[in-house]
Amino acid sequence: MVATRRDFLKGAVGGAISLGLYSVARAKDASPAKRLNILLITADDLNCDSVGVYGCKTPDITPNIDRLAARGVRFEHAHVTIAVCQPCRGVLATGRYPHRSGIEGFQRLPVGSKIPLVTEKLRAGGYLNGILGKVGHSSPRASFKWDMSYDMPQLGKGRDPKLYAKYAKEFFLRAKTEGKPFFLMANSHDPHRPFSGSDQEAGMRKGGKITPPSRTYKPSEIDVPGFLPDIPNVRREIAEYYSSARRCDDTVGALLKALDESGQAPGTLVMFISDHGMALPFAKTNCYLHSTRTPWIVRWPGVIKGPKVDKTHFISGIDFMPTALEAAGLPKVGGLDGVSFLDILKGGKQAGREIVFTQFHQTAGRKRFPMRTIQDKRFGYIFNPWSDGKTVFKNESQSGRSFKAMQAAAGSNPKIAARVKLFQYRVVEEFYDFEKDPDALNNLIDNAEYESQIDKMRAELLRWMIATGDPARAAFENRDSPEALAKFMTEQNARSRNMPKRKKKATGRRDKRE
């Protein structure tokens, strides 16, 4: 039987697998100045297949990210744990699944929470902690103060590569002057909506100039992703999205140049990821392959000789914290769901990385649409306990041109009509053969040919739910009962109502863009 990630986790915690022993020993005799610097660069809403080295056919889309991959390793089976901004970053910071940390949506850790953060552990180890962009989303504990912090307003609305480079270089040189290692989380606000050149961006420009990307794309130059219909307004919006993706790449290039100019590059481990898929139907705030699969690239001078491609191991957002701490030569932290993949970066192999578990809880509008997913290299199973044939799914991806265009086309195109219906109402169970159908167009849950594989994945998912204390377990075990699913959703909606409300901007309006 294929080992689950939880089996691997239990082995690591229990001592059967001795990960991190080298770093614990190092932590006793290594001075902070000799420790590895860590630069984590994140994109905001960038699909994995929108990156050149991950197969994007749009010309010259990500030259800087591609160059980073040429000097490191890129993982083909990397996933974030949840495909929405703040809880995804909460996973990176805590190493725990959202239902275990409590960061299921747009909220922070409750006051008094003892859950450790990667930044706190790095600070205790002598590190300077810096952040550029997405500060609120990346600070799970309100009391934590970054050593350097600039947010969206100071970064040209999070879209000015020169400002990212300016502040990053100042931080790199500060760490060098103080003789301390650094952790910098540099978060681009691209290619999050509003897309470059869009009507939505026109409204954003009223508050000041927005730096244009180094290249803009015409609708005729791009390929529409296979999970969306190729109709004019979808194609137009995807072109705007790709222009934003190019500006994200500009920011990556500016950050890497600043690192080089600081003289710190040889001693810095660089990771690049996206927080989840694009803000379009069937990607962001869902659990499809295009929702959680992320470009994950690691450059480590003197250790990784690129270009390398890892097509073997599944890594996940829960693994960032233990990996970063081990790379920093700091002690392991108990209670994590993730497992360090430092051995993989050093050229080794790890058992138990054949599958990944992902989830979803609530949108920025505090609406609950819980989902649970298990994926391996070929198949994906999704459980949607909220789907009752009446509840309508609503998320940010329905703003802009594409979903409106799909709704308009549905009146005369049965295939598009079926896609719109699935997106809005879903079904309780979905199952896809990604090897044959990477865009998840054909739900095979009732196909007898796949019955044994579906049952196997259901069993694996249940074991994971039991091991992690997932509150969706009872609903999953009674998934054929509308009454049991309704009861679960009543509990979930009550939980949302009792959560602290998201803070509003000074204008008194919630910032729906972010």
Q: Which residue would you say has higher pLDDT here, 270 or 512? A: 270
Mean pLDDT of 299-314: 97
Domains of the chain with bracketed CATH: 5-27+35-353 (3.40.720.10), 359-498 (no CATH)
444/446 Cα distance (integer angstroms): 5
Q: How many residues does the chain have?
A: 514
37/493 Cα distance (integer angstroms): 42
Report residue 20's pLDDT band, with 50, 70 and 90 as the boundaries. Answer: very low
Side-chain half-sphere CA neighbours of 310 within 13 A: 28
At residue 3, does pLDDT exceed 70? no
Bridge partners (DSSP) of residue 430 are: 382
10/310 Cα distance (integer angstroms): 24
Q: Residue 467: name the closest of 321, 356, 337, 317 by CA.
A: 337
Residue spans of alpha helices (H) in 293-401: 320-327, 342-345
pLDDT at 503: 52
Bridge partners (DSSP) of residue 362 are: 368
The two tokens of residue 494 are: 């009550």
458/396 Cα distance (integer angstroms): 30
Q: Give tens-digit pLDDT for 120-153.
A: 999 999 999 999 999 999 999 999 999 999 999 9
**8 Å CB contact between 461 and 357:** yes
162/179 Cα distance (integer angstroms): 26
* The residue type at 127: Y
**8 Å CB contact between 373 and 382:** yes
**8 Å CB contact between 375 and 79:** yes
Mean pLDDT of 144-172: 97
At residue 381, φ and ψ (nearest 5 deg) are -120, 130
* DSSP symbol at 440: -
The two tokens of residue 476 are: 């999953």
**8 Å CB contact between 254 and 338:** no
Residue spans of alpha helices (H) in 469-499: 473-477, 482-498
At residue 32, does pLDDT exceed 80? no
Q: Give tens-digit pLDDT for 270-294.
A: 999 999 999 999 999 999 999 999 9
At residue 467, does pLDDT exceed 70? yes
